[in-house]
Structure 1
Amino acid sequence: MATLAFPVPAPAPEPAHLPRNVEAEAAMLGAMMIDNRLADDLLDRLEPAHFFEPLHGRVFAAIRTLRAADMLATPVTLRPMFEADEGMKELGGPAYLATLTGSGAGLIGAREFARQIYDLAMLRALVSVGRTLVDRAMDTSEEVNPRAQIELAEEELFKVAVDGGAENSVKTFAQAMTLVTRQAQRALDSGGHIAGITTGLDSLNEKVGGLHASDLVILAGRPGMGKTSLATNIAFNAARRWMRDGEDGIEPAKSVGAKVAFFSLEMSADQLAGRIVAEQARINSGVLRSGKINREEFTRLSNTAVELQNLPLYIDDTAALTIAGLHTRARRLKRRQNNQLGLIIVDYLQLLNGSGRSSSDNRVQEISEISRGLKALAKDLDVPVLALSQLSRAVESREDKRPMLSDLRESGSIEQDADMVWFVYRDEYYHLFKEPATPNEHSSELERQKYTEWHDAQLKVANKATLIVAKQRHGSTGAFDLRFDSEFTRFSDLAEPGRHGYER
């Protein structure tokens, strides 16, 4: 490359061997000030931090500020912004800005210079990650945790890889419409009018159209409502549909099933797998855990286990997982599955840990970081993320115990970040606590009547659960009933006569 006609700043106080091209930075900035149309084209491709010379990064940021206000960015309009800039003073003051425009070389190769500046910035970031990794590996003054260091390094490398991704994420209207058409074709071919991943529950699919890529779905409920059971049911249904579609010769892109990653922070992998197999074999999981299973039940269990041994459902039961670690493990699993991972489930959100960067961070801030991280994960991997969440105890103090968005525990950012919020509610759970004494020969007529009324009400709510779609960014909210078989912790659609719902 020919030497340019203008001076460049002295090298920044960085090791001399770091990749950089300060002259390319100067040439590109000069071209941007000569032709602001060129500046508008390049401003979204770079960030001030991509410049090796800090002064050049500040000039770039100033040009962006002026263009955002629809003002000309020239040496004259930029001059007041650098009157007090110490770095500029070392080069003779704001007159340096005019010097940058003294050569037209940048006009010809400005876009190539921008690409080179970005690539060199990536190389410097890789050098920084490598040095940090070496320093951490050599430091044994604190507890040594090699796996945590590897996950942290993977996370930092991923950040380098996606830096500048805004340019790649821009799509023409034609490209966006192709995606919409593809989703519509998938819904038509599914026969169930599902545009996303199936939940295996027709009533839920009808309400939300399945689970959609890049969506964060929050499934919340009080303890005992069955939210983990519903999540495992959905995980199984999606994975089984994927397996059956593959057996039927349906292309992976056209399947409404999915390979599923289930991050279980509360239950171990064998407990979760045992629960799923027991659900499908229709064996009481409590009987299975207590060892009171009979031979006929064992035969059903064994046959079901053989049938499901190739189920594309992957369970990670790592305890005390951080949101960064979750990102790393999910990305790693998607790569191993040839980018075919289609659904991520997290049980549950409050058991994840944040970055812990500051000891002053409180729990609300940490939950906010986690919910933002889960939404970022959904967008980064382009898969739906279903995250379970606890509700606050405020529900228990109300007469009407149906949950509301304000009951989401510890952070309003969960509601803000979520594309959908579902609540699972079982009136039967609370109604059982109201059971009066069973009448006997000494009971009064009033006591008998009271028990009869309770019993009649119990029959109406028995084996029923209500799923409330409290937020849906792309559709209506509402509620509908599902059947819940408490013996096998299994959700299913109600028969049509008893099925109802409402919208608002």
Structure 2
Amino acid sequence: MATHNILHFPPPDAVAPSLRVPPHNTAAEQAVLGALLANNRIYERVQEFLRSEHFAHTAHGHIFTAIQRRIDAGQVADAVTLRGDFEGSELLTSVGGVAYFAQLLSAMVGVVNAEGYAREVQHCWLRRELVELGECIVNRAHGCEPGLEPVQQIEDAEAVLSVLAEGGNPTAQLIRARDAAQEAVDAMERAMKSGGGLLGVDTGLRGVNRMTKGLRAHQLVLIGARPSMGKTALAATIAYNAAGAGSRVLFVTAEMSAADVVARMIAAHAGVDLVEVLSGHEDTGEQLVPLRQGKVDRIVAAQQAISALPIEFEEASSPSVPYLRGRARRMQRQRGLGLIVVDYLGLLKASDAAARQSRNEAVSEISRGLKAMAKELGVPVVALSQLSRENEKREGKRPQLSDLRDSGSLEQDADVVAFLHREHYYLAKNPPAKKDNETAEDFSAREMAWLDAVDRSAGKAELIIHKQRQGPTGIVRLRWSAGLTWFHDDQDHPAE
């Protein structure tokens, strides 16, 4: 019986392999580097797939590495700053030294096309890898590694091809049920030893810990609220408590400065009103006077205690998720990382392509990126989100899942969705008005009931857990300290 060869041989006049030049595109490499030097924001569009080893020219790889290092550190990477990185070294000798940066800038075709050129650089690298793999397969088949079984050769080749199919980024290995089961039991044993049944990061809030068992690795935790509910205060409370329990925290504060956030931590730790910490004065009722020495001493002690906490802040005003991921990766690699807090999701920057489509698409991209970051780094990500005004039209004002702004993917991507609500805020700013034909007695009764409700709701807050993939939903009762702008456990009702 005749057999059919599964390989398709090239025509006889094909170029002999020994005469072929490895696939490369020098012009595309120069165009990408020139675009990056001219506009560092291009890096956000290429950093997820482009790596230094993708450049065929060694000098280009060194330049890309230098650009990457500076941008990840929050610094400017241009022809001027990079000159200092390479002067005195021989890394650019093959291209004429630091004067080569001017040539790269002139080779830039346009920043709009930079991502396309970066893809071409990566594709050329993939083709070079395929060539190398093919040569390896041929050599192994000819017996360069005696004793290696053909089946093993095929499996090795398939493994390399699988990695190349993913753009050169190795995918996670398949996990056997046996290993997953062991991991689940190990997590249970750690929870038993923790004393509080915690499976993840300690929030320091008893009710929250009871409902969630701690903020767990790989989770995206979304906390939504209307303005003035205390979103930043809750984020600072969780970060402060988590760091105090030993978790290293990256706090992304895109709205406030790091000093403003830490001022709240100092106020809470010292038990001194925030306005006094910020102004250095206290109100006696008749005049403002400098803080008494006792309060100053408490503030200084709080500053020293908080200085020792493992919290680091990112203050970029409109960072992208890829930028934050780079920051977090480096922090995890160098010092460890246990929790990421993002204040807040609405201030993060989406890619230009997503932003051009719609706000909904931009928020969806950001949400997916935060979830991917949590999974990749193996840490929980707590992201704050501002809710629409719809809850203010309802009786009781309690927020619902439909109040999430701009994107339904927020609910879909998040593992936990919780809403922060303070009834006192709405009651206090909406006193009853006398209705037409209402008697003075009836109005007085309604007003007294309102005053009683305002008094009973003062200092109280709710964290309403509307969704939790691996846990119950319900209401966590908290205490709100307006003077400290801080949240504490409600000792009477920690969780319902």
Q: For the residues of structure 2 that align with 1:387 and 1:222, how far apart are their CA atoms?
A: 14
Partner residue, 2:331: 333
- Kept in 2: contact 1:133–1:153 (CA 8 A): no
CA deviation after TM superposition for structure 1 residue 189, in Å: 1.2
What's 1:419 paired with?
415
Match of 1:270 among 259, 266, 287: 259
2:191–2:197 contact (8 Å) kept in structure 1: yes
SS where residue 298 of structure 1 aligns? helix
Q: Could you say which residue in structure 1 is the equivalent of 2:188?
A: 184
Matches within 5 A, 1:236-247: 236-242=240-246
Match of 1:157 in 2: 51
Decide whether aligned partners of structure 1 residues 451 and 138 sit closer, same or farther in structure 2, where only a CA change above 3 A counts: same
- Partner Cα distance (1:6, 1:479) in 2: 64
Measured after TM superposition, the shift of residue 136 of structure 1 is: 3.4
Q: 1:193 to 1:427 in 2, by over 3 A?
A: same
The residue matched to 2:475 in structure 1 has which SS?
A: strand
3-state SS of paired residue (1:357):
helix
Q: CA deviation at 1:420?
A: 0.6
Cα offset, 1:330, TM superposition: 1.3
**Aligned pair partner of 1:204 in 191, 200, 208:** 208
- TM-score, length of structure 2 as denominator length: 0.67
* Mapped partners of 2:322, 2:273: distance in 1: 37
162 and 263 in structure 1: CA distance in 2 versus 1, 3 angstrom threshold: farther
5 Å matches for 1:46-125? Answer: none
Matched, 1:223 2:227: yes
Q: Could you tell me whether the CA contact under 8 Å between 2:459 and 2:480 is conserved in 1? A: yes
Aligned CA distance change for structure 1 residues 423 and 10 (closer, same or farther; 3 Å): farther
Change in CA separation of 1:368 and 1:128 when aligned onto 2, cut-off 3 Å: farther
CA pair 361-303 structure 1, distance change in 2 beyond 3 A: same
Determine helix, strand or coil for the equivalent of 1:434: coil
The residue aligned with 1:59 is none
Alpha-carbon spacing, 1:325–1:8, altered in 2? closer, same or farther (3 Å): farther
Query: 1:318 — aligned with what?
Result: 316
| Structure 1 position 225, deviation (Å) | 0.8
- Asked if the contact 1:229–1:490 (Cα under 8 Å) also holds between the matched residues in 2, the reply is yes
Identity between Structure 1 and Structure 2 (%): 38
Q: Residue 155 and residue 202 in structure 1: after superposition, are their counterparts in 2 closer, same or farther (change >3 A)?
A: farther
> Which residues in structure 2 correspond to 1:433-448 (within 5 Å)?
433-435=429-431, 448=444
Structure 1 residue identity aligned to 2:226: R
Whole-Å separation in 2 of the counterparts to 1:5 and 1:469: 58
Q: Is the 8 A contact 1:155 1:327 kept in 2?
A: no
Is the CA contact 1:151–1:325 (under 8 Å) kept in the aligned structure 2? no
- AA at the equivalent of 1:454: W
Q: Give the CA deviation at 1:387.
A: 0.5
Q: Distance in 2 between matches of 1:387 and 1:129?
A: 41
Quick one: structure 1 residues 413 and 335, their matched pair in 2 at CA, closer, same or farther if it must change by over 3 Å?
same
Question: Bigger relative contact order, structure 1 or 2, given CA contacts below 8 A and separation 6+?
Answer: 2
Indicate the RMSD between aligned Cα atoms, in angstroms. 3.5
Structure 1 runs not aligned, ≥5 long: 22-126, 243-257, 438-442
Q: 1:313 to 1:20 in 2, by over 3 A?
A: farther
**Count of aligned positions:** 366
CA–CA distance in structure 1, aligned partners of residues 259 and 24 of structure 2: 41
Query: For 1:117-157, what per-residue CA distance to the aligned partner results, in whole angstroms no more than 9, with x for missing partners?
Result: xxxxxxxxxx98998664233248xx934476389547633
1:288 aligns with 277
Distance 1:194 1:6, change over 3 A: closer
Match of 1:138 among 27, 34, 43: 34
Amino acid at match of 2:32: R
**Is the Cα contact below 8 Å between 1:422 and 1:469 reproduced in 2?**
yes
Output the TM-score relative to the length of structure 1.
0.66
